[in-house]
């Protein structure tokens, strides 16, 4: 039993180091930094101006800004494999000793992992715009703990969707050109652009199709998730990861057996 636990821990630690390596590689590119900061700060500024003009819940709107910043950064995963190709590292990843699913997950998750910084960026921007810490006073410790759980679930959802996108668009060298086309559809289907009574009825179903939907709903409503919401959201994430694995295997087969995927 102890041996099994030790192996699992070593595997987890190894994957964590691999992911941290690619997060640092991702963060070393100024474009990705600007993408996260600009998208988050811009939306936060607009949301803050909206509160000043029409009122609203600052915590909800600040979280919405952070979620938008997170997904805007995560979608960079659509072209991350092509980015590795252009750097000349993709061919080495395909023939390395580390299993390809582990490497693929580490590369793709680097975008969403770096995108988590959108939350402190959004909250810091809001505080600077208001000139006080009132927004923090509105967040209880219990709600803060719940929000951390929702953010983790949101991260998993973002990684699962980004993994499917990356495994599909790896087949084209122009993936980076299509990234921005995927932003708004995900925002709409996850219900991120709707609040309160303005949410269309069909969003209740698409929220479970898009893994970002349920954690976004919980962060925006500042309310605990029901057991049904949690289970359906988890199943959605699992399905998206399964799709990502299927498409990635197809791409890897083309690269290593059929020779139809350009890797150099």
Confidence of residue 155 (pLDDT cuts 50, 70, 90): very high
* pLDDT-wise least confident of 6-15, 153-162, 248-257: 248-257
What are the tokens at 214? 């349920």
Residue 215: both structure tokens together: 């954690």
Q: What is the DSSP track for 58-75?
A: HHHHHHHHHHHHHHHHHG
263 part of a folded domain: no
What pLDDT, on the 0 to 100 scale, is given for residue 166? 82
Residue 188 has pLDDT above 80, yes or no: no
154/116 Cα distance (integer angstroms)? 10
Quote the number of domains for the chain. Answer: 1
Q: Which residues contact 241 (CB under 8 A, 6 or more apart)?
A: 160, 163
Is residue 1 in some structural domain? no
* 130 burial via Cβ count (<10 Å: 0-12, 13-18, 19+): middle
Confidence of residue 196 (pLDDT cuts 50, 70, 90): low
201 Cβ contact partners less than 8 Å away, ≥ 6 residues apart = none
Query: How many other CB atoms are found less than 10 A from the CB of residue 223?
Result: 11
Residues of the domain holding 116? 14-258
C-alpha distance across the termini of the chain, in Å: 44
What is the rounded distance in angstroms from the CA atom of residue 115 to the CA atom of residue 45? 18
* Closest among 40, 167, 198 to 105, alpha carbons compared: 167
Does 248 fall in a domain?
yes
Residue 7 lies in a domain: no
Residue indicated by tokens 């699913």: 101
pLDDT digit string, tens, across residues 76-104: 887 777 677 666 666 666 666 777 778 88
Which one is predicted more confidently, 237 or 223? 237
Whether 172 is in a domain gets the answer yes
Q: What is the pTM of this model?
A: 0.86
Q: Quote the pLDDT of residue 209.
A: 84
Is 57 within a domain? Answer: yes
Residue 153: is its pLDDT beyond 80?
A: yes
pLDDT on residue 40: 94
Mean pLDDT of 136-159: 84
Residues 126 and 58: beta-carbon distance below 8 Å: yes
**Bigger pLDDT: 218 vs 175:** 218
**What's the mean per-residue pLDDT of the chain?**
80
Per-residue pLDDT, 85: 67
The answer to whether residue 252 sits within a structural domain is yes
Encode 133-147 in three state secondary structure: CHHHHCCCHHHHHHH
- Mean pLDDT, residues 41-58: 87
């Amino acid at each position: 039993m102890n041996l099994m636990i030790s192996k699992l821990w070593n595997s987890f630690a190894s994957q964590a180091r691999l992911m941290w390596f690619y997060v640092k590689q991702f963060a070393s590119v100024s474009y990705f930094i600007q993408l996260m900061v600009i998208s988050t700060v811009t939306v936060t500024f607009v949301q803050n101006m909206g509160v000043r003009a029409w009122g609203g819940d600052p915590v909800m709107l600040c979280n919405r800004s952070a979620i938008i910043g997170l997904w805007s950064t995560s979608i960079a995963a659509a072209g991350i494999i092509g980015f590795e190709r252009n750097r000349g590292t993709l061919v080495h990843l395909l023939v390395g000793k580390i299993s390809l699913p582990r490497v693929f997950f580490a590369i793709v998750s680097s975008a969403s992992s770096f995108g988590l910084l959108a939350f402190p960026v959004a909250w810091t921007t809001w505080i600077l715009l208001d000139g006080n810490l009132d927004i923090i006073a509105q967040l209880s410790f219990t709600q803060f703990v719940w929000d951390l759980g929702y953010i983790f679930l949101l991260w998993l959802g973002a990684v699962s969707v980004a993994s499917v996108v990356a495994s599909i668009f790896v087949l084209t060298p122009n993936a980076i050109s299509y990234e921005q086309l995927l932003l708004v559809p995900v925002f709409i289907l996850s219900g991120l652009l709707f609040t309160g009574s303005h949410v269309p009825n069909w969003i209740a179903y698409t929220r479970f199709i898009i893994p970002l939907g349920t954690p976004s709903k919980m962060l925006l409503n500042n309310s605990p998730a029901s057991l049904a919401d949690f289970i359906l959201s988890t199943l959605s994430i699992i399905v998206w990861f399964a799709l990502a694995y299927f498409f990635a295997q197809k791409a890897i087969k083309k690269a290593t057996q059929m020779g139809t995927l350009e890797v150099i």
